Structure 1
Amino acid sequence: MQPHDRSSDAHPRLFTREEFHARQARVAGLAAAAELDAVLVWARGGGTYDHGGLAYWLANVYPQFPVIGNRLPVWSGRGHTVVVVPADGPPVLIVDVPYHRPDLVAVDDVRESPNLLDTVVAVLNERGLEAGRLGIAGESVLPYFWQRHIAGQLPRAQWLPADALLDRARRIKSPAEQAHMRRVAAIAAGTTDAMLGAVAVGKTEGDVVGAGLDYMARHGATLNNIGLTSGPWAASYSRARLPNWDPSRVLARGDMLRFDIVGQYEGYLFDLGRTAVVGQEPTVQQRALIDGARETVRAVIAAVRPGVTAGALGALGAEVLAGATFHEYAHPETRSRSSGFSGFGHGLGTSNEEPWLIAGDATPIEAGMILAVEKTVGIPGIGGASWEENLLVTEHGAEVLTWDPRPWV
């Protein structure tokens, strides 16, 4: 029997191989400009899609194996991937499982090894980088003792942070990425519509989430995370346990239900927030919460344009939120609050990205960025509201990709 030729499997390619090569060249150029000899780009998978984004963006690969502890020399770095991008020379992809798809993976030199850490050392020695200035991107997924293990075998190497370099490289989305993000946004809108359509008296939080998961599964998307609360707990972002919703809580008439959902389609994220009132129109107090979140988001979106800074957008969001009427309904001992995230948005792509819409961030907004603009607010005893939209920055302002004109459902 002949072995199966995986390269012959039909699979639509969303981005050309040349696009990935251009991304790799962009990182190599930035490395050279920063006087680095190479950048080691780390990504962690095994189910945490938000940490696999760098390798997905750079090489069209996602580490599938579960993250498990090292058992050197038999295995190490399981559930992780490394792309070594020299300033001069072709990149090397190091994966921890065999049988990669050469028709999909956008790096020609692929090393397959269950012992990721020692393979990184071997590749750096082979490429003459053992005494180089080496940048680390994806440092949040590179454990301290793993880096010590690698550095101990390369005592002449200099290690420098390089996350900011990757942030710059992928901040502006290519035309192909922009087209793909429109597809992602369409799936996001369908997902939230399915969830909101399941909100009814007698249904459970599990029914609402299940409707969204069903839609995503049938359209090729995957859930990253969701914070959903309702009724007396709607002022909180989530219940701080798994799952991040209460599958058995039955929705009652007049309950507020809010959620912030992050999913991904073909490696790229959507991030949306929506609010519903169960079985009736909102009360005056509930309406004030919804308006506070929604109108803050819309004010920030209206101010998006090339040249304005992320910090200016964050400061505007804080100013609009401070003037919202819902604050007057809060008791002094409970206070109104912004739940979960004190900023007003962030970049979006294969992960949550720079810039962050917070006061003081000097990053200029540029055409071609994808932004998620968001706010979640709550008052214990009344409820909570989330609103979030995803947009493309154009030369003329914001093109909202996920616009929902409904104030509530």
Structure 2
Amino acid sequence: MNVLIDADTIRSPELRHEVPAAILDPFLYGERDGVAFATTSALDAANIAKARPDLRQLDTMSELGLRELIVGGMGRGEALLEVRARACEAMGVTEAAVPATFPLATARFLEARGITLHVDDALFVARRRIKTPAQLEGIKRATRAAEHGLQAAREALAPGLTCTELRAIVRAAVEPHAALGEFTVATGPDTATGHGSSTGPIVPGQPVIVDLWPQDRETGTFTDIARTFVVGEPDPEITRWHALVLEVLEDALAYVKPGVEGKQLHARACDRFEAEGFPTQRKPGKHLMEGFPTALGHGVGLEVHEAPGLGRTGEALQAGDVISIEPFLCRPGFGGVQVEEIVLVTDTGAELLSDHPRTL
């Protein structure tokens, strides 16, 4: 099946996978009978050629007539759509699969020119499930950066330190090594919300969750790891939860291998938590965020959350997948415990990519 992607590589994981370079402006990428092509400007041609030397570049000015279209009075937006149609016609594309994010304006313009488009998101997800060597190295670099942040948090934690101050400490530790956008620093009852953050002071005995998903600047790949800390003596219930979370984590790591389904891993976690009396997704409690209310993890790569899933519908793992495993227990008004690791699925099992102490 021929394919088309209309995007930039900063925001589109589908296109960043095909053209592994940071290209700010949107362009049309396509494949016809295995031949890759793209509409490119002189500003980006060298970067694209370095990233994909096999790709045929169609220059928007000299080959596709963008300048003449604009000089002739056509608005820039319509002219760029015309350029995309001309590229498809030049390459003989009459039918193609597109991702779900394909722009509606481009789709309607191309369809009006007789090009049939099929949305096939599964195709594009499958194309980037197995990480390239460069992507895997990027994930490892992002993971090391996150570990710098976790270590800085562990060393800085003290009574009275605010979560706002801790966020600044974590960011300063991570940013020299990777790009850190949003992340979670939560304490007390806020740790039961999942992705919620706190701003106020850290209280002895209460959980503090630091969840980081920095992005490698070179490859655009992410990691996703988290730890739960406590200043001083932890609440006995938090200690019990933490031990159970680690038990579930270790069981999942031992069970990971190609062919195992994400939903099987999730079911094993539910079995263990339910045996200890906790609600789960499949046996909910009175509150939505209570017990083990989440998936066990997810794929990680050019998106923080991508295939394969480790929830109730999780698909079979493949060698080359990178996944997070993140058992989580919580109770509204009290708090939560989360420990998250990043893992490469190998031919024989799981290779742990993260390496930071799991102690409270």
Query: What CA distance in whole angstroms lies between the structure 1 residues aligned with 2:128 and 2:353?
Result: 19
2:353 equivalent to 1:401? yes
Alignment of 1:70-85 (within 5 A): 80-85=26-31
2:121 equivalent to 1:121? no
2:207 matched residue in structure 1 = 256
1:378 matched residue in structure 2 = 330
Query: What CA distance in whole angstroms lies between the structure 2 residues aligned with 1:302 and 1:349?
Result: 22
* SS across alignment from 2:298: strand
The answer to whether the Cα contact below 8 Å between 2:221 and 2:301 also exists between their aligned partners in 1 is yes
* SS across alignment from 2:229: strand
The answer to whether the Cα contact below 8 Å between 2:193 and 2:289 also exists between their aligned partners in 1 is no
> How has the CA–CA distance of structure 1 residues 82 and 252 changed in structure 2, closer, same or farther, with 3 Å as cutoff?
farther
> How has the CA–CA distance of structure 1 residues 364 and 105 changed in structure 2, closer, same or farther, with 3 Å as cutoff?
same
* SS across alignment from 1:41: strand
* SS across alignment from 2:153: helix
1:59 matched residue in structure 2 = 19
Query: What CA distance in whole angstroms lies between the structure 2 residues aligned with 1:189 and 1:93?
Result: 40
Alignment of 1:148-227 (within 5 A): 148-152=108-112, 154=113, 156-219=114-177, 221-227=178-184
- Could you tell me which of 179, 189, 212 is aligned with 1:232? 189
Query: What CA distance in whole angstroms lies between the structure 1 residues aligned with 2:110 and 2:181?
Result: 31
> How has the CA–CA distance of structure 1 residues 81 and 299 changed in structure 2, closer, same or farther, with 3 Å as cutoff?
farther
CA distances 1:273-324 after superposition (whole Å, capped 9, x unpaired) = 21111x2121111123333433322221111012222222222222223234
The answer to whether the Cα contact below 8 Å between 1:55 and 1:62 also exists between their aligned partners in 2 is no
1:283 matched residue in structure 2 = 235
Q: Which deviates the most, 171-180 or 383-392?
A: 171-180
Which letter does structure 1 place at the counterpart of 2:298?
Answer: H
CA distances 1:25-76 after superposition (whole Å, capped 9, x unpaired) = xxxxxxxxxxx2x21124456xxx6x43222221123343xxxxxxxxxxxx
Unpaired runs of at least 5, structure 2: 61-65, 67-75, 280-284
Query: What CA distance in whole angstroms lies between the structure 2 residues aligned with 1:272 and 1:183?
Result: 13
Query: 1:81 deviation in Å?
Result: 4.4
* SS across alignment from 2:159: coil
Query: 1:388 deviation in Å?
Result: 0.9
Which letter does structure 2 place at the counterpart of 1:303?
Answer: Y
The answer to whether the Cα contact below 8 Å between 2:291 and 2:329 also exists between their aligned partners in 1 is yes
1:358 matched residue in structure 2 = 311
1:269 matched residue in structure 2 = 222
Query: What CA distance in whole angstroms lies between the structure 2 residues aligned with 1:227 and 1:189?
Result: 14
* SS across alignment from 1:181: helix
The answer to whether the Cα contact below 8 Å between 1:234 and 1:378 also exists between their aligned partners in 2 is yes
> How has the CA–CA distance of structure 1 residues 171 and 99 changed in structure 2, closer, same or farther, with 3 Å as cutoff?
closer
> How has the CA–CA distance of structure 1 residues 57 and 110 changed in structure 2, closer, same or farther, with 3 Å as cutoff?
farther
> How has the CA–CA distance of structure 1 residues 150 and 230 changed in structure 2, closer, same or farther, with 3 Å as cutoff?
farther
Which letter does structure 1 place at the counterpart of 2:187?
Answer: S
2:290 matched residue in structure 1 = 337
> How has the CA–CA distance of structure 1 residues 166 and 203 changed in structure 2, closer, same or farther, with 3 Å as cutoff?
same
CA distances 1:341-389 after superposition (whole Å, capped 9, x unpaired) = 732122222223211112343x332222211112333112321122210
> How has the CA–CA distance of structure 1 residues 342 and 120 changed in structure 2, closer, same or farther, with 3 Å as cutoff?
farther
Query: 1:100 deviation in Å?
Result: 5.4
> How has the CA–CA distance of structure 1 residues 253 and 302 changed in structure 2, closer, same or farther, with 3 Å as cutoff?
same
> How has the CA–CA distance of structure 1 residues 126 and 390 changed in structure 2, closer, same or farther, with 3 Å as cutoff?
same
Q: What do you get for the CA RMSD once the two structures are aligned?
A: 3.0
Query: What CA distance in whole angstroms lies between the structure 2 residues aligned with 1:371 and 1:93?
Result: 34
> How has the CA–CA distance of structure 1 residues 121 and 236 changed in structure 2, closer, same or farther, with 3 Å as cutoff?
same
The answer to whether the Cα contact below 8 Å between 1:308 and 1:364 also exists between their aligned partners in 2 is yes
> How has the CA–CA distance of structure 1 residues 318 and 403 changed in structure 2, closer, same or farther, with 3 Å as cutoff?
farther
CA distances 1:180-216 after superposition (whole Å, capped 9, x unpaired) = 4333322222222223333221212122222222122
Alignment of 1:84-95 (within 5 A): 84-94=30-40
The answer to whether the Cα contact below 8 Å between 1:306 and 1:394 also exists between their aligned partners in 2 is yes
Which letter does structure 2 place at the counterpart of 1:120?
Answer: R
Tell me the TM-score normalized by structure 1. 0.72
Query: What CA distance in whole angstroms lies between the structure 2 residues aligned with 1:89 and 1:43?
Result: 19
Query: 1:326 deviation in Å?
Result: 6.0
* SS across alignment from 2:249: helix
Percent identity between matched residues is 23
The answer to whether the Cα contact below 8 Å between 2:152 and 2:169 also exists between their aligned partners in 1 is yes
2:73 matched residue in structure 1 = none
> How has the CA–CA distance of structure 1 residues 214 and 126 changed in structure 2, closer, same or farther, with 3 Å as cutoff?
same
Tell me the TM-score normalized by structure 2. 0.81
